[in-house]
């Protein structure tokens, strides 16, 4: 096994965990990363505390991957949330589970974990090569990088990410290289994204940046609790992201999607109606709703906005069932993640490309999506481990 050499192209979580898995087996690994540093998206995720995974029952956990659940299940089974937690704690990063079930390092940031991880990789002999832009293959089949000598490894793991947050390195430019080799690809689409809304100019100007909470959001028979933020272009936030796949699909199909907001999810509608039946005694509508229904100014004006500038006749009902018309998802450059990429039909069970024997793919290059909450990172890690195991299995099966 010591003679085996592997090139990992992409220095995010999927690529780095693949490199660690291989190097622990004595494989000579080089990780090529186009950007000057490694794990840039992981560091950005760390600004929100670095939600690595989720503690909910595993059967329910796997349903979060929607249409890709069946394809991802073997990899998640082999590297489940408890394995990811144990891995992080093995790097000296104690973990804790928040009230929402999300799992974080106690440090609530990514930099200590990433530093320890990169040191472990160096201790394992992994060669980390930054500023290595992958350009494809030369006629002999060697990997080609800008301003670097070609590499002819025994196997390749591609972990180049999807197409969201391109300024951090995931540009999706690799699609042209794989398409030229006959690999089938699904178009990229934004996931965990905000949506555009045709706000009036006064509402947009006054309330851009204002949070909506507490809040329940409903669409297509599903209701989630979460937060939202009014933006200049529309709306975003955790509650929006949880429903974004269904909302995006509806907008693509129908040209719009109507999201229903419950601005007071902890108060029943009949209770609200009784409170709002009290005399206003000369109070402005905003003051009355602030006192009687505990609505902040952004929520009061949202009621007017939904009615075209006119308060609704049945305010209690509107507070509990406020429709917001979404006209489109934000672009990939603003999305947290992306759907699309290498179609599942293009890889075997070990995540090797059928069109390119010896070339494996992992992470967001594959066509799957999941909500925020630890699901994205968990699947990136699990597929990175799976691709590494695929390389090892192929090497062992090769004739001596």
Output the DSSP codes for 314-352.
SHHHHHHSEEEEE-EEPPTTT-SEEEEEE-GGGB-TTSB
Which pLDDT belongs to residue 400? Answer: 60
- If asked whether residues 244 and 372 sit together in one domain, one would say no
CATH number of the domain bearing residue 80: 3.50.50.60
Same domain, 150 and 66: yes
Range of the domain at 238: 195-329
In a domain, 182, yes or no: yes
Residue 321 falls inside a structural domain: yes
Same domain, 57 and 120: yes
Does a structural domain hold residue 324?
Answer: yes
User: Is residue 164 assigned to a domain?
Assistant: yes
Helix (H) / strand (E) containing 286: helix 285-293
* pLDDT, averaged in runs of 10, over the chain (400 residues): 85 97 97 95 86 96 96 98 98 95 95 97 97 96 97 98 80 94 97 96 96 95 95 95 95 97 95 90 86 92 85 89 96 91 98 98 97 94 98 88
Residue 135 structure tokens? 């350009």
CA dist., res. 288 & res. 362, Å (int): 55
What is the C-alpha to C-alpha distance for residues 290 and 297, in angstroms, rounded to an integer? 8
Q: Is residue 52 part of a domain?
A: yes
How many domains are contained in the chain? 2
Instruction: Give CA–CA dist 239/241, Å, rounded.
Output: 5
Eight-state DSSP code of residue 167: G
Q: Beta partners for 157? A: 8, 360
CB 141, CB 7: distance < 8 Å? no
- Of 301, 329, 357, which residue constitutes the final position of a domain? 329
Do residue 205 and residue 176 come from a single domain? no
Domain-terminating residue out of 308, 329, 350 = 329
Sign of the torsion formed by the C-alpha atoms of 152, 154, 158 and 159:
negative
Residue 269's region, left for phi above 0, alpha for psi from -120 to 50, else beta, is alpha
94 lies in the same domain as 16 = yes
Residues 220, 364 within the same domain? no
167 and 123 in a common domain: yes
Are 249 and 166 in the same domain?
A: no
Shared domain for 139 and 272, answered yes or no, is no
Give the Cα separation of 393 and 400 in Å (integer). Answer: 14
Burial 334-369 (b: 16+ CB within 10 A, else e): ebbbbbbbbebebbeeebbbeebebbbbbbbbbbbb
Q: Tell whether 220 is covered by a domain.
A: yes
Please indicate, yes or no, whether the overall pTM of this predicted structure exceeds 0.75. Answer: yes
Residue 296 and residue 343 in one domain:
no
Q: Is residue 334 part of a domain?
A: no
| pLDDT computed for residue 20 by the predictor | 98
Determine the Cα–Cα distance for residues 267 and 261; give it in Å rounded to an integer.
13
Answer yes or no: is 254 within a domain.
yes
Please identify, among 329, 353, 372, the residue that sits at the C-terminal boundary of a domain: 329
CA 20 to CA 351: how far, in whole Å? Answer: 17
pLDDT score of 48:
80
- Verify that 294 and 199 share a domain, yes or no: yes
The pLDDT score that the predictor gives to residue 1 is 42
Same domain, 15 and 105: yes
| Residues in Cβ contact with 271 at an 8 Å cutoff, skipping those fewer than 6 apart | none
Distances (CA, A) of 276 to 295, 316, 317, 362, 369: 12, 7, 11, 55, 42
């Amino acid at each position: 096994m010591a003679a085996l050499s592997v090139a990992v192209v992409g220095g995010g979580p999927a690529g780095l965990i693949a490199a660690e898995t291989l190097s622990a087996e004595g494989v000579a690994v080089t990780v090529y990363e186009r950007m000057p540093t490694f794990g840039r998206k992981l560091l950005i995720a760390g600004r929100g505390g670095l939600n690595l995974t989720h503690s909910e029952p595993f059967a329910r956990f796997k349903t979060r991957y929607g249409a890709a659940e069946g394809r991802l299940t073997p990899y998640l089974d082999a590297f489940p949330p408890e394995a990811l937690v144990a891995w992080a704690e093995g790097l000296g990063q104690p973990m804790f589970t928040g009230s929402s079930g999300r799992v974080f390092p106690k440090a609530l940031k990514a930099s200590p974990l990433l530093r320890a991880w990169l040191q472990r990789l160096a201790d394992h002999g992994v060669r980390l090569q930054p500023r290595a832009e992958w350009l494809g293959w030369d006629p002999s089949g060697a990997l080609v990088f800008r301003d670097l000598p070609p590499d002819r490894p025994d196997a390749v793991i591609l972990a180049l990410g999807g197409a969201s947050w391109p300024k951090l390195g995931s540009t999706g430019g690799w699609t042209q290289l794989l398409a030229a080799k006959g690999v089938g690809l699904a178009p990229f689409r934004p996931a965990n994204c905000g949506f555009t809304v045709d706000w009036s100019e006064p509402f947009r100007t006054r309330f851009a940046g204002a949070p909506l909470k507490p809040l329940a959001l409903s669409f297509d028979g599903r209701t989630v609790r979460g937060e939202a933020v009014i933006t200049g272009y529309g709306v975003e936030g955790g509650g929006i992201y949880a429903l974004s796949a269904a909302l995006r699909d509806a907008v693509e199909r129908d040209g719009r999607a109507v999201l229903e907001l419950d601005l007071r999810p902890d108060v029943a509608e009949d209770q609200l109606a009784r409170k709002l039946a009290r005399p206003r005694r000369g109070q402005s509508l905003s003051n009355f709703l602030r006192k009687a229904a505990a609505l902040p100014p952004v929520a009061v004006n949202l009621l007017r906005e939904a009615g075209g500038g006119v308060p609704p006749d049945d305010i209690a009902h509107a507070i509990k069932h406020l429709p917001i018309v979404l006209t489109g998802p934000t672009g990939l450059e603003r999305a947290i993640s992306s759907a699309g990429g290498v179609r599942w039909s293009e890889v075997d069970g070990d995540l090797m490309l059928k069109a390119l024997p010896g070339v494996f793919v992992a992470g967001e290059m594959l066509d799957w999506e999941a909500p925020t909450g630890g699901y994205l990172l968990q699947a990136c890690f699990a597929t990175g481990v799976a691709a590494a195991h695929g390389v090892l299995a192929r090497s062992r099966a090769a004739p001596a």
